[in-house]
Structure 1
Amino acid sequence: MNETAAHPPIRTFHPRRGRMSSRHADAHAALWPAFGLPVTDGDRTPLDLATLFGRSAAVVLEIGFGMGDATAAAARADPGRDYLAVEVHTPGIGNLLALIGEQGLANVRVGHGDAMELVHRLAPHTLDAVHVFFPDPWPKARHHKRRLINPGNVALLRERLRPGGLLHCATDWPEYAAAMIETLDADPGLAAAGEDRTGRPETKFERRGLDAGRPISDLRYRRVR
């Protein structure tokens, strides 16, 4: 038995499919062949981003984009960079594809699957930024091992950033924010770049947290040489 079979990866998300609306299903059928990217566990085939997007430009990796409204808004406001957005929730996949079609967004590609599996396919120093906005906080202590922002994942993401590239995390759970800061501060290849939401449109999860009275933490770290 190989190592992957013996030790399956710890998932940092709840596997969810959900039901697509007719709008989402139509967008998926029409646009997935051109804008979609399936993410397969264990696939380590190098991914050429210039080929994927059809041009050479700075690339932003968005991990867990929800329904994709904030991703579409960011990409529309930032046409000089390309956005590789990865999600596991199928209605979110369909909604972002619909937004791509409706808004004529040429600088977005949509990955379906485990984002950290996809990261393994990227060469070092290929990303201009990584966005991790409102990941599952896994609040129960026994589930903390499932949190996306952990030392191993942070090291992997940092290696994919160019020198000076930005890792931007946001959460509405204060305890998770404290754990994120501890993990990010401990990485020797990252330096804190201030806590602000520069370049981040408001998300549905953010509004939900604000409505519940939870503070929003935006943590920005740059890769140092």
Structure 2
Amino acid sequence: MNTSTSAGHALWVLAHPERDSLNAALRDAGVAALRSQGWQVTESDLYAMGWEPTLVRPGGADVAAEQAKLLVADLVVLQFPLWWYGQPAILKGWIDRVFESGFGYDVVDPQTGRVRKYGDGLLTGKRALAVVTAGDRPGSLQPRGISGSIEDVLWPLLHGTFWYTGMLPLHPELITKARDLDVGQFTALRDRLVDRLAGVQSEVPIGYLPLDDDHYDHAVQLHDHIAPGEQGIAAHRDVRVPEPCLR
């Protein structure tokens, strides 16, 4: 993997209730690695913050503070355990409240009057990485696994949140058999994450197609000549973008 010595601002959001968890240990290692490379890192530990996940009314000082963190970040890391094939409720609530109208969606381009989304938005150009722990075996979250590939499982986050708001979604960093790791296995996973973060700025993101007239019609469906014969999630991938070698 290529590495880069330049640095920027990073926001690391953790959604795990236990301070002595595997997730917390990986977060600590990841944040320390970024800082050692010259990154300025801001953390949002949602459970430690007592984050209110329920959207009752828009806005609030806590929402504005998280939005400010996002706006200055070049890299956004969302870290969480995979619970029932999705994010913990506290993280889903963070997205629900922070990515509100005028920030995450309903962002209008004043030049064209068009709503900016799917490859364009207020957060365009930022890189977004999901660091995910799962209890099942590695094969279960592969393309032929019983759960489907981790990219398909996380489609609502990768495509529906990251890509929708203009962020460049990176391939998820998946840690499987999270409840059964010994010290040696944890060390290897920690080192793998640290090594990946060293090259995160030059890593090839997931190639999703942008929402434009070249690819989608006015019903927001792919034109017939785009990915002919493909159905579902795979049809929305840009085949010109190579798959990275992360391991």
Relative to total residues, which structure has the larger helix share, 1 or 2? 1
Fold shared, TM-score > 0.5 on shorter chain = no
Larger Rg: 2
Give the TM-score taking structure 1 as reference length.
Answer: 0.40
